[in-house]
Structure formats: structure tokens, C-alpha cells
Structure 1
Amino acid sequence: MGVAHVTLIWKGGKPRTGIQAAAREARYGLMTEWCRANGATRLLTAHTQDDQAETVLMRLARTSSIESLAGIARHGAWEGVAVFRPLLGVAKSELRQFLAGLGQSWIDDPSNEDERFERVRVRKLMPALAAAGSIPAGWLNSPRSAPRYPRRSQARPASGSKTICGSSPPASAFSARVTWRNFPVRSRSR
């Protein structure tokens, strides 16, 4: 695909509890540190509709607040770096199909199968919930479900957010399509 890859390593002690939250903090810390060190002002993550659906279900299990329906924010900031999640409107299966069509492989994190983690348990329940009619089929994977309820704290996209694509033509076309499609309408003209 022509996109450079850098492996960042989490050094130091690891917690025995709260592993996923600590790992998330470490991932974002490492990525934003790399961004600042290399002059990158924007970070794009590959969170998909599937991640969004899991997040909404996990939050609903904890609270009945309307904000629990907000899901993962499409954009925000972490340690001074603008963070965008352009693939929130794309199903994981669609992303994998796109990558397979390019002959691009990927790595599945083994922890994504570890049922000690709430997200993995929720992920495995989603098909059964849809099949039982507990949730409308496809509702949780709809780009229209969670984003209707934005967080009050949701940050405005950084200026120039329309130009966050890389230079690789196939990746840029896909990224541009989903990025533009997924930005809230009010953000598109900024």
C-alpha cells in the first residue's frame, strides 16, 4: 500500500489489573509521542463500526446515560495531537475485504480472542443478540446509531482536517471516502 510502518514498544512495568485501560493509555501515549517527535499533527486510528458497536454496548451495560450512546468520538485530541477515527462508519469485514483486494495482509492481536476482557465477551455476544431480536440486525453496526448522540466534550476537528490522507493512491482513495463520509456535516466546511 505504500504506507510506512513503525512498531512502537511499551516498555516498563505492566499492570496486573485494568490491563485494557492501561494498554489503551500506553498505545495512545506511544503514538502521540511518536507524532510529536516526527512533526505529525494528526493521528488516524483504524477503529471500525464493529469497535463502535462494542463500545456502545459496553457503555450501556454500565449506565443508562444518553451519553453512553455516543460511542467512540470521531475526532478529538490526545496530548496535543489531533486524533481522527475515519473508519468508524466502515465494518471490519469491509476493511478486511478492501485490504485483501490490495493483497495487503494484517495482524490480528491475540488478545482480541481473550475472554477475560469485556470487549471480547461483548463482541462474541453481538451476533446472538441480533439473532434473538434483542437488537435490530445491523443497528449496532450502523454509522447512524451512535454518532447521533455526540459527547458534550467532543472536540472540534483541527483546521485543515480535510487533508489528512496519506500519499498512497489506493489507501488515500479509501481513506478519503470514509473520512469525508464520516465527519459530521457541520465539520465538513470548516
Structure 2
Amino acid sequence: RSSANVSAGARTKASRVMHGVWLLLFAALLPSVLALIPLPALAGILVHAGWKLIPFRGIVPLWRDHRGEALILVVTAVSIVAVNMFEGVLIGLALSVIKTAWEASHLKLEVVDKGAGPIQAHLTGNATFLRLPRILESLEALPQDRPVELDLSGLHHLDHACRTALENWAERHSAAGTDPVKVTEPAAAG
């Protein structure tokens, strides 16, 4: 409605409210007239209005800077046209939630091996189940015959699945005949 109002020459925020009021009155007082509008024509109007709202000039810079956001925009637009508006919006919303969860689970594992003494493994960021396979793969690659110091103090968040998996890994590594894995707990992991 806002885009249509601006295109029609609206200058104040009241135009949005009035547009909504007019639509509500028309739908409430003349529902039989709405039934006369062919659904393909209504769908065409909605697709045309939606097409005008897609920021085509902004897609290339968006792709350059934020590929995930651009991909979600394109997939949502295509889904709305290919499936229907409600399910297309739900698909876009689901992709946004998945992308946010993935980005929230940033994790860095730094392994320091000075040749002598224990191997130091430092985890920083957010340790969630989404990154668990990567964490375990890196830890399993450490030599079994060397002691390990696992520093978790740089973690902002350590979920239950990761905590359990790290404890199990430390037990397995310690059982291999080396010194027990020394674990430095996170300061304020949630």
C-alpha cells in the first residue's frame, strides 16, 4: 500500500491509513463485487505489484556484499510466484531463520603445536550443534600420543550437545594412554 500511495502522489503517513480504510470498507460493504473479479486477474495484479517492489538495482550490490540475503530475496520472490504468496513468504522466512542460525554459530578452532609439550586447542565464538561435526573432525585429527589442552574460555555460548561431545572426546583422547585432556571452561557460556 505504501508503494502504491507514493506512486499516486501521497505526501503523509495518513495516506497509508486511509488506503487501508478504503480497502476494508470496500471488502466489508461490497463482498459480492469482489467475487466478480477473476482470480487470474487478481493474481496478475498482485504479481505486477510485487514485481515493482523488487529492488532490481539493489540486487547486484546486495549479491556482492550479502549473497545470502540476495539469495533469500530471489528464492522468496520466485516461491511467491511459483507456489503462492503465503507459502512463498513462509519459505523466505524459514530461509532467513536458517541463515541467522548458521551465522550465529560462528566458531574458530585454533590449534597451537610448539613441537614439545601439550598441543593447545583454543575455541572461540559460539559452539552449537551446527558446528559440532567440524569441531570433532578437527579434534579427532590431533595426535593421540600427545597431551592436549582444550581452552574453551573464548566461547560466548556452549550448547549442551557440544559440551557433551567435547567431554566424550576428552575421555576418549585421555583413554588412549596420554595425560588427561586439560579443559579450561568457558567464562560465561550459556
Q: Same fold (TM over 0.5)?
A: no
* Greater strand proportion: 2
Provide the TM-score with structure 2 as the length reference. Answer: 0.25
* Greater helix proportion: 2
Larger radius of gyration: 2
Provide the TM-score with structure 1 as the length reference. Answer: 0.25
